[in-house]
Structure 1
């Protein structure tokens, strides 16, 4: 079942993300991976103050409730959370990858600011929603929304922690529920860091059950079975393992598919695999072509570029482009034609443009900014098509060094490199460099076309139709 769950997860969830229907729920395990304490450890001090060992209590919300009742206020609990959760611990790789995925909605019951910091690190807009009043705020254009349904460490007067808070959730924070239920009913949700010992789990699962329909979208939960070394005695381990196995099977009642890992150390690579699979649905077209002069190849290069854009559109891939000279506009034109013909104008999601700022006469271009933009496009795209790559230097046509830089960045990011070398320039140099190289050309690790495909794309006698047919065959094989 575990293997089957992982196979389904790697097949289905990247497609959901690409289609804009993927949602992620971040659980306590992600916080623990950053070094934050588990719920049990977090409330150890609280329990000791009232003579209770937190390890002996399954209902940790009740423990917080007892402390509040005994002390007369929630200050002690809040101070512990502020001291332990308020620290900025190193960002786990799982959260960094999460911030790069095309997600519009993230849910969490965690108080920490890991997700906010990961988004800020890559300057990606994020709108945290930590209270009911935040739901009414205008959404920042292009921003992902982070629903902190149990509050945030920077607003400790409005967090869900005790039994009272859970029982009065519908009264005080009920506005979150229609949104969560809508996402559960219409989107595919991935639960990362879901823990059997997390007191929030039962609460969230009950909400999922309420929104359950006859044919819900498939949801996934990454789970780690208990390990013997995590327990002080063998009996405790066996009891918890049996409990975990029953719980994992029971998740199917909520429409969740269990994706089991032997160790949490596998989760970052699993998330990177999701990122790679999403990236294969994005194609970056790199190239340049001088507008001056009467190069006889210019009309053909424009035609091929336009057809590549159309091919990306009709095969439901996303276009990544720097919108450079001639080739960039031609690709975008063909791509938009395909979207219009298909009746879809979801350009905001499928066109990823990073235009290069062009220098004005007398001013040098900002090369560092160009490199930063190229690096971002290389990271976003799983396939990079190279076309042309010529520029004029002192009256002579030479291979564009910027396109060669993009080739190096694409290789470094693990992108599949697809050069159309028939028209010379940097694309021809790249094709000849790859021809006969040791880089894999087939299988899941393929990073370049097969030699016969590279040769076909180098042929100067090939027609535009033949070149596009070869490109399509390569993309179809990758899919």
Structure 2
């Protein structure tokens, strides 16, 4: 199995199991338009009469400036002027903000990661000082561990040789925590060169603790490209060095995933997000308790329970808006499966987004409902539409909310499985999709026409649920 394929199989699984973390390096920030270390310290070097291209230890260059200026004022001013302005958040970090990560590490000072989380209103606790590590994050918030400090606290950043040499005195609490995360989690490194002495120190500790079977981690790396060098000889020499460097990282359990361009990193992370979403199934639907044929109501409830049970047994996560009748029945079946299999990990496997109902005589918050539907569509790789009806003026009508959920799922490119035999919106969507001869209809992923027709015939609820699970399984095989 090649490294890329291994990464795309193993890391999404770790995310699904809540056993993954990520480390964002300087390469991500430079890709967003921030200067490299050499560019950042170029003016400092000019003042000292030193060309940054001739200096391998840039921390030493910063230290020389600190000594000459009798303080960090000059260096910190340069960092403030170049790092403080906001740059556009790169697509890679937009994906990172959406992934089910609890711990994010970085050596970067900028606020790109914070802003990526702010853009989707996801809570994030940024920790930039060692003393802050003792403060528990807010429930539900991811944790951003800025081990070299942050632009918001300039006087506390790691920049010069003194800062690195005294790191274990001033910031030592970060190191055992990073070691613990690299021992217990699958860590993905993005944009990191592995030259940072603190990161290398932790890698050496991992090496000491696991001499033969280190925990497995991944690093997305862009190898040297011919266009990066003036001569072919220079490129070949650098390429050979890179090959040996990548092989050497295996001593620490680090598998290098090579990309030919930085844009390919975005594509890889999007694929990771898609594979995580494929483990989540959104059962969308509603059905009035009274007012419609009782046999149809009983059939729909039985299908919902059977489907929820099978999703639980198969290890899927359930996404649900707790729609009338259908939602509780699906969740009930899902609960039964978790209890029977001993997988009572509701926090990870059950994503319920109940829609806030207005007081009598008041209008619902439509924008809030739309945001909830958008979120459920975003995190779900498969959407099963079951029923989708409500009572109008004493007559059944199709539920507007389920229509909107179908549209939200279609826009995300999810696999849509309408169980037409359950009536309502599910039947209408099935009739719309069954006319297409391909696996897609106007960009919507769908089951085969034969499967759609089978789902339009009312049969044994258990058999209907089995067919839905087979469709999901076949789709996962094709997608991978």
Does TM, normalized by the shorter one, top 0.5? yes
Structure 1, residues 103-133: CA drift from partner, whole Å, max 9, x if none? 0110111111111111111110111110111
* Distance across 1 between alignment mates of 2:203 and 2:435: 53
The correspondence for 1:207, drawn from 170, 189, 202, is 202
**Residue 276 of structure 1, CA deviation:** 0.4
Residue ranges of structure 1 left out of the alignment (5+ in a row) = none
Q: Flag as ranges the 4+ runs of structure 1 deviating above 4 A.
A: 232-236
Give the corresponding residue for 1:467. Answer: 464
| Residue 323 (structure 1) aligned with residue 326 (structure 2) | no
Give TM-score, length-normalised by structure 2.
Answer: 0.94
Q: 8 Å contact 2:97–2:113 — kept in the other structure?
A: yes
CA distance in 1, matches of 2:31, 2:411: 27
Residue 34 of structure 2 is matched in structure 1 by 36
Superposition deviation, residue 189 in structure 1: 0.5
Q: Spell out, residue by residue over 1:279-336, the C-alpha distance to the aligned partner (whole angstroms, 9 max, x if none).
A: 0001111001012225221122112111211122111111111111111111111112
Q: How big is the alpha-carbon RMSD for the aligned residues of Structure 1 and Structure 2? A: 1.8
1-structure distance, mates of 2:290, 2:79? 65
Count of paired positions: 471
What is the distance in 1 between the residues matched to 2:214 and 2:432?
A: 49
3-state secondary structure, aligned to 1:468:
helix
Question: Are the counterparts in 1 of residues 437 and 449 from structure 2 also a CA contact under 8 Å?
Answer: no
Cα offset, 1:385, TM superposition = 0.6
SS of residue in 2 equivalent to 1:384: strand
SS for the counterpart of 2:2 is helix
**Inter-partner Cα distance in structure 1 for 2:125 and 2:439:** 41
- 1:1-16 aligned at under 5 Å gives the runs 4-16=2-14
Q: Which residue of 2 aligns with 1:382?
A: 381
**1:107 and 2:102 aligned:** no
Q: 1:232 to 1:162 in 2, by over 3 A?
A: farther
1:440 and 2:435 correspond: no
Q: Which residue of 2 aligns with 1:60?
A: 58
**Distance of 1:305 and 1:357 partners within structure 2:** 22
Partner of 2:430: 431
Within a 5 Å distance, the mapping from 1:309-388 to structure 2 comes to 309-388=308-387
5+ long unaligned stretches in structure 2:
none
> What is the distance in 1 between the residues matched to 2:345 and 2:156?
38
| Alignment TM-score, normalising by the size of structure 1 | 0.94
In 2, Cα distance between the equivalents of 1:431 and 1:317? 24
Partner-residue secondary structure (3-state), 1:292: coil
Counterparts in 2 of 1:476 and 1:415: CA distance versus 1, 3 Å: same
CA contact (8 A) 2:292 2:396 kept: no
Distance 1:87 1:233, change over 3 A: farther
Find the counterpart in structure 2 of residue 177 from structure 1: 175
Shift of 1:439: 4.8
